């Protein structure tokens, strides 16, 4: 496949004046059973409600934009492999269509992965983690640099780097982002902490903005005798499991971020607050007036 500057968006593949047609190709109808999803599809979750809405649209208007496919890479399972348009293919099945319009193009694995990621990003159909997995595939499997990956999909290098950082977050924090409790921006603010969940829970409870959470992380980093965040993160990471469990229990009881530093016999307990109301809550708890 000729490199056409995919950073322009899908217009690099589809005619600008006729968005339903792929440049230099004519659609053909093929049986739905002749198609299978691409192994390079970055999307992991297909929302049932949105698929149902698309199926209703297809029943009334048909498929306006053909699917982009290539000949199957294994040559056994099905005749063609979907590069762009798996949602349309799934919805067409729900709409009881037997054939769908496709454009067949020769395409390498590298180009197929790139186009599949590009289509979903341009349509804003991916979760931030699916987007990150797509970048990681380009980098690890096809030897892209971050700058090259960014250029190919029309994003800045800083954007790609920030999205990739999210892959390092602990599972508990990832679930909070996936459930919509926190945004990706909140999660990035917490990545400097080895144990970000207490502060994450506090951010959710207090409905903090990203800026408020960033300030709380900075305050937490400097609270440990002026140490820098990297040293503070290391200290948390090496914490005794019993102290960590006590720390999380105290955080849950107070609804505020609690840090316990020391040993089983002596140490310090630090409680972080971000407003006068939270400070009053702490004082009330300590005086048994809550």
For the segment 129-143, what is each residue's pLDDT rounded down to a tens digit? 888 888 888 888 778
Confidence of residue 1 (pLDDT cuts 50, 70, 90): very low
Are the beta carbons of 80 and 69 closer than 8 angstroms? yes
Whether this prediction's pTM lies above 0.85 is answered by no
Rounded Cα gap, residues 173 and 200, in angstroms = 7
Rounded Cα gap, residues 70 and 1, in angstroms = 11
Percent above pLDDT 90 for the chain? 4
Strands 80-84 and 99-104: unpaired
Single out the catalytic residue among 21, 53, 86, 280: 86
The SS3 assignment for 55 reads helix
Taking residues 264-288, report their average pLDDT.
71
Tokens 């999660």: give the residue: 187
Handedness of CA 11, 80, 53, 48 (dihedral sign): negative
Among 215, 210, 202, residue whose Cα is nearest residue 257: 202
Taking residues 167-191, report their average pLDDT.
86
Mean pLDDT for the chain? Answer: 76
The SS3 assignment for 68 reads strand
pLDDT at 23 over 60: no
CATH number for the segment(s) 6-165: 3.90.1530.30
Confidence of residue 236 (pLDDT cuts 50, 70, 90): very low
Task: Give the pLDDT score at 8.
Answer: 41
pLDDT at 269 over 60: yes
pLDDT at 264 over 50: yes
Burial class, 124, CB count within 10 angstroms (exposed 0-12 / middle 13-18 / buried 19+) = exposed
The SS3 assignment for 150 reads helix
Confidence of residue 249 (pLDDT cuts 50, 70, 90): low
Task: Give the pLDDT score at 223.
Answer: 67
- HSE, CB side, 13 Å, CA atoms: give it for residue 59: 11
Rounded Cα gap, residues 20 and 64, in angstroms = 6
Each domain of the chain, given as residue ranges in start order, spans 6-165, 198-286
Taking residues 104-109, report their average pLDDT.
86
Confidence of residue 180 (pLDDT cuts 50, 70, 90): confident
Question: Which of 103-117, 183-197, 219-233, 243-257 is the least confident region?
Answer: 219-233
Tell me, yes or no, if 86 is annotated catalytic. yes
pLDDT at 186 over 80: yes
Confidence of residue 174 (pLDDT cuts 50, 70, 90): confident
193-219 in b/e form (b: 16+ CB < 10 A) is bebbbbbbbbbbebebebebbbebbee
- Counting DSSP H helices and E strands in the chain, the numbers are 13, 7
Question: Which of 6-20, 98-112, 191-205 is the least confident region?
Answer: 6-20
């Amino acid at each position: 496949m000729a490199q056409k500057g995919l950073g322009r968006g899908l217009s690099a593949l589809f005619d600008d004046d006729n968005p339903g047609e792929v440049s230099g190709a004519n659609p053909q109808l093929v049986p739905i059973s002749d198609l299978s999803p691409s192994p390079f599809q970055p999307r992991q979750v297909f929302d049932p409600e949105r698929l149902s809405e698309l199926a209703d649209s297809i029943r009334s208007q048909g498929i306006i934009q053909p699917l982009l496919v290539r000949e199957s890479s294994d040559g056994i399972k099905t005749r063609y492999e979907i590069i762009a348009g798996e949602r349309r293919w799934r919805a067409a099945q729900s709409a009881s269509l037997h054939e769908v319009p496709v454009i067949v193009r020769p395409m390498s694995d590298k180009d197929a992965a790139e186009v599949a990621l590009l289509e979903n990003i341009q349509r804003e159909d991916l979760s931030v983690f699916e987007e990150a997995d797509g970048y990681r595939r380009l980098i690890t499997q096809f030897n892209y640099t971050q700058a090259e990956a960014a250029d190919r999909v029309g994003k800045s290098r800083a954007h790609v780097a920030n999205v990739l950082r999210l892959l390092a977050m602990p599972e508990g924090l990832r679930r909070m982002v996936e459930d919509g409790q926190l945004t990706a921006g909140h999660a990035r603010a917490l990545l400097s902490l080895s144990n970000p969940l207490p502060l994450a829970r506090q951010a959710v409870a207090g409905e903090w903005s990203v800026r408020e959470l960033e300030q709380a992380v900075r305050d937490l980093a400097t609270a440990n005798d002026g140490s820098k965040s990297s040293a503070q993160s290391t200290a948390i990471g090496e914490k005794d499991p019993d102290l960590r469990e006590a720390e999380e229990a105290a955080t849950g009881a107070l609804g505020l971020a609690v840090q316990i530093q020391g040993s089983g016999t002596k140490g310090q307990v630090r409680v972080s607050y971000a407003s006068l109301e939270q400070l009053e809550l702490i004082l009330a708890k300590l005086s048994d007036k809550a």
